[in-house]
Amino acid sequence: MIKITDQDCYQHHKDTLENYEATKHLAVFNITENRANDIQEALLKYRRENNIFEVGDYVVYKSNAGLEGLFQIETLTKTGKPKTVKTKRFGNFPCRYCEVQHATPEEIKAGHRLEAERHG
């Protein structure tokens, strides 16, 4: 049985984040708007797949604790995890990394968490 330590998890997160940042900085200024949109979509897909967040990303709460709305990352911790989120309706408030996940394109379009998609 392989034992994974907290240090292993931290190192994986750090390596993934460094790879993402390196990829993000490969974008050049002389690209078409369509190509820029393609790059942004690819970066967002990568962030969703690897639990990497940036300020402005849309998230939903994982649990059904009365927080079914769509939230936007407002600030991050030094390690790149969500620290505060905001909404038009409730303003801003603290959140924990383990409580949120990236919103799907369908959830962003709907403006709230889609319960059936998350749990069904």
This prediction's pTM: 0.70
User: Is the model's pLDDT at 40 over the cut of 90?
Assistant: no
- Encode pLDDT of 44-72 as tens digits: 999 999 999 999 999 998 876 667 788 99
In contact, 36 and 77? CB cutoff 8 Å: no
pLDDT at 56: 95
Whether the CB-CB separation of 55 and 75 falls below 8 Å is answered with yes
